[in-house]
Amino acid sequence: MSSIQAAVVSALEAVEELRAQTPTSSDEWRGWRLEIVDGSGRAVQVIPLDTHSAH
């Protein structure tokens, strides 16, 4: 697994934890996203937070 893939997995787990701790409607997350960036600051993955992630 690459470091980017590991970052995506960790990010999705963190998002699921946040949603479990504060069960709210996805409307409250509308427009929010989590960006994973590489060492130069370039976005390599964007995860929208206004939709439920699926594993």
Beta strands in 1-55 (DSSP E): 33-37, 43-48
pLDDT tens digits, the chain, 55 residues: what are they? 788 889 889 988 988 887 787 766 667 778 888 898 888 999 988 988 876 544 4
CA distances from 11 to 26, 37, 38 (A): 17, 12, 14
pLDDT at 24: 66
Number of alpha carbons in the 13 Å side-chain half-sphere of residue 48 = 9
Q: What is the per-residue pLDDT for 51?
A: 64
- Amino acid 40: pLDDT: 94
Predicted local confidence at residue 41, as pLDDT? 93
The pLDDT of residue 43 is 92
